Structure 1
Amino acid sequence: MTGLGAVFRPQLAPERLRSVARLADDTGLEELWLWEDCFREGGISAAAAALAWTERVKVGIGLLPVPLRNVALTAMEAATLHRMFPGRPVLALGHGVQDWMGQVGARAESPMTLLREHLDALRALLRGERVSVRGRYVRLDDVALDWPPAAPAPVIAGVTGPRSLRLSGEAADGTLLTASTPPDGVRAARRLVDEGRAAAGRTDPHQVVVYLLAATGPDAASRLRADLAAEGDAAVPDLGVAGDAGAVAEAVRRLADAGADTVVLQPTADEPDPEGFVRFVAEEVRPLVP
């Protein structure tokens, strides 16, 4: 079955999260995803609150920029969430927007090297291993978590470029793709991820999650066009969807057919009814998606 979720966009004030998260839980939505966009809302703090307010919905963070974090802190926070809310947190890590990283003095000379080192160390720490490493960016001396997750805690990489997608296949447990990824882009990403997996000799499952920009309601088409234009994607064919539940479900199915395991519906930045959007996804779109 194709997984389905929705995004709580950080254009909304943090105090709006509680009602959206509770509605997602009450309506049976499978996943609610949060963003850590500079300089809006913290991913870990928002996820912890959403998990505490709910009982069953998975809460994803897409994504945590690794230049902002020491890997030991990432591991401590991830493990804490997994211990308190087993099976429900989903953490994605990535390079971060380089301009934003530059604004805070954290821009890495080699984002690829940093991401690889961070992923390798983080996954080892979450497995309960004792880690010593002296990399270009990640340096740990005999570090182990006192409270590692009691069950496996997959780590997803949010990446876009070919080299980063291969890296995700090698060093992550899943891949998160942006809403700028049409079905053909999902197919291409799958191929690159699989190349990385083959190079690393990996045969374990690898989940592909993709955002889908979606709008519904009387002004859906104009809001979708405005969002695509703002992201520079107005000329990209087969990107985003505006319409009723049937139209949105068909767009979800196209991404699933292209290789997406989970599709997360991303409302437009000016979505007038975030709670209504979550209800629409859970109650109208979900029954139409196999």
Structure 2
Amino acid sequence: MTGLGAVFRPQLPPERLREVAWLADESGLEELWLWEDCFREGGISTAAAALAWTERVRIGVGLLPVPLRNVAITAMETAALHRMFPGRPVIAVGHGVQSWMGQVGARVESPLTLLREHLQALRALLRGEHLTITDGRYVRLDGVALDWPPSSRHPVPVLAGATGPRSLRLSGEAADGTLLTAATTADGVRKARQLIDEGRKSAGRTDPHEIIVYLLTATGPDAPTRLRAELADEGLADVPDLGVAGDAATVAKAVQRLVEAGADRVILQPTGDEPDPEAFVRFAAQEVRPLVP
């Protein structure tokens, strides 16, 4: 079955999260995703709160920018979430927006190298390994291991957010799944799957690798206007077949196009000016979900 979720956008104040998370849980939505956008809300803090307020919904963080985080901290926080809420957190890491990384003095010369080193170390630490890495360009560890790694009964997949060809190949090589932005069309999903598979082949990997993609979604009387405005703000107005505006049947068809192109899970991303985030979650869970195979 195709996984379906929704995004709680950080344009909303953090105190709004509790009601939205509760609705996602109660309405039967499979996943609620949070963002660690500079300089709004922390990904781990909001994820921990959302997990504590709910019982069954999976909480995704898409994504944690690796220039901001020592890999040991990422591993400690991820492990703690998985031990407290087994199987429910979903963590993705990535380059982060480079201009934001520059604003905080964290921009690196080779984001690809940093992401590779971070992914390799993070996955090893979450497997309970004891690491000494002294020759990394960015990641250096001296006898580091988690006292409380996740339970072996609940393996922890680590996702990578990726857009460009080299990052997508790296995700196939070094991550357990890939998160694609809402700027990804169905054709973009196909190309991403091909590049990811190239990376997997080069690393000799045969384990499953899920692709999760955001779908910019607007519903309601002013949906087409809000969708066009957001695409224009993002410089994407000329990209054909990007995003969807309309009723549940229209949205479900857009989801299906992404699935047919190779997506395993689709996360509905409301526009930044969505007037009713709670209603958006209900729409996703109660109207769109029944129409998605």
Same fold (TM over 0.5): yes
2:48 and 2:232 map into 1 onto residues whose CA distance is 33
Aligned residue in 1 for 2:162: 159
**How far apart are residue 220 of structure 1 and its match?**
0.2
TM-score relative to the length of structure 1: 1.00
Matched residue, 1:136: 137
Q: Counterpart of 2:61 in 1: which secondary structure?
A: strand
Matching of residue 205 in structure 1 with residue 194 in structure 2: no
Query: Where do 5+ consecutive residues of structure 1 fail to align?
Result: none
In structure 2, how many angstroms separate the alpha carbons of the residues matched to 1:234 and 1:214? 14
Structure 2: distance between partners of 1:270 and 1:226: 10
Corresponding position: 1:25 with 2:28: no
Deviations 1:138-159 (A, max 9, x none): 0001110000000210000001
Instruction: Report the Cα offset of residue 83 of structure 1.
Output: 0.2
Q: 2:240 aligns with which of 237, 242, 247?
A: 237
Secondary structure of 1:9 counterpart: coil
Kindly provide the amino acid, as one letter, of the partner of residue 139 in structure 1: R
Letter in 2 for 1:140: L
203, 216, 238: which one aligns with 2:219: 216
Name the SS for the 2:251 alignment partner: helix
Q: For residues 6-45 of structure 1, what are the structure 2 equivalents within 5 Å? A: 6-45=6-45
Is 1:189 paired with 2:176? no
Residue deviations 1:68-105 (CA, integer Å, cap 9, x gap): 00000000000000000000000000000000000000
Instruction: State whether structure 2 residue 230 is matched by structure 1 residue 227.
Output: yes
User: Per-residue deviation at 1:41?
Assistant: 0.3
Displacement of 1:48 in angstroms is 0.2
Deviation (angstroms), 1:118: 0.2
Aligned partner of 2:255 in structure 1 is: 252
Opposite residue 168 of structure 1, the aligned amino acid is S
Alpha-carbon distance in structure 1 between the residues aligned to 2:32 and 2:4: 9
- Tell me the residue number matched to 1:99: 99
Write the letter of the residue equivalent to 1:51.
L
1:141-196 Cα shifts (integer Å, max 9, x gaps): 11100000002100000010000000000000000000000000000000000000
Counterpart residue number, 1:286: 289
Residue in structure 2 matched with residue 123 of structure 1 by the alignment: 123
Structure-2 separation of matches of 1:127 and 1:100: 31
| Residue-by-residue CA offset, 1:106-152 (whole Å, 9 max, x unaligned) | 00100000000000000000000001112000000111000000021
Partners of 1:123 and 1:129 lie apart in 2 by 9
Kindly provide the CA deviation profile for residues 15-65 of structure 1, in whole angstroms up to 9, marking residues without a partner as x: 000000000000000000000000000000000000000000000000000
Deviation at 1:288, TM superposition (A): 0.2
Q: Structure 2, unaligned stretches of length 5 or more?
A: none
Cross-structure match for 2:146? 145
Provide TM-score, normalisation by structure 2.
Answer: 0.99
| Distance in 2 between residues matched to 1:231 and 1:64, nearest whole Å | 21
Q: Which residue of 2 aligns with 1:57?
A: 57
Counterpart of 2:274 in 1: which secondary structure? Answer: coil
Aligned residue in 2 for 1:114: 114
| Sequence identity percentage | 80
